[in-house]
Amino acid sequence: MSLPMKRLLIALSCAMAALSAAAQSTPPDDALYRALGGTPGLTKLMADFVPRLAADPRIGEFFKETKLSELQKQLVDQFCVVSGGSCVYEGETMKNSHAEMKIRKADFNALVEVLQESMDRQGIPFSVQNRLLARLAPMHRDIVNTR
């Protein structure tokens, strides 16, 4: 191999090493996802949360026609995405899926309370709970659609 060719190859491999180092030094922020126990943790959380939601005396009625196993799956994917995990959420937007349901602020708050209880039951630390809730809170704009 000619010297210029050798130099070119060395330069190329240095550039590639630099690129992969840069990729490693800026990982995606999945800290919250990991704090929630990753997909296994979220799967356990939703397995507790969804049945309790459906049984809740305040808002259980909303879920009487819902296929709970499907909702559970969508929620695992959605919470994975929201917390920074590398999942794909294939469900509807929050606006479309809750349109026409006449959800009030009080209903939204009741759901958040059930979620907090489920997170307590899973031993999720308070600070982690709050970080998740902070990411969910803005969704009320698309979900709450009546007074």
The stretch among 23-31, 43-51, 124-132, 135-143 that binds ligand HEM (CB under 6 A) is 135-143
Which tokens belong to 96?
């479309």
Distance in angstroms (rounded) separating the CA atoms of residues 58 and 82: 26
Ligand-binding site membership of 140 (annotated): no
Distance in angstroms (rounded) separating the CA atoms of residues 46 and 119: 9
Q: What sign for the dihedral angle of Cα 104, 110, 65, 57?
A: negative
One residue of 63, 87, 122, 135 binding ligand HEM per CB under 6 A: 63
The stretch among 6-14, 17-25, 30-38, 136-144 that binds ligand HEM (CB under 6 A) is 136-144
To the nearest 10°, report the CA torsion of 81, 110, 121, 53.
-80
One residue of 62, 83, 124, 129 binding ligand HEM per CB under 6 A: 62
Q: Which residues of this protein are in contact with ligand HEM, per CB under 6 A?
A: 59, 62-63, 65-66, 71, 74-75, 78, 91-92, 97-98, 103, 107-108, 111, 136, 139, 143
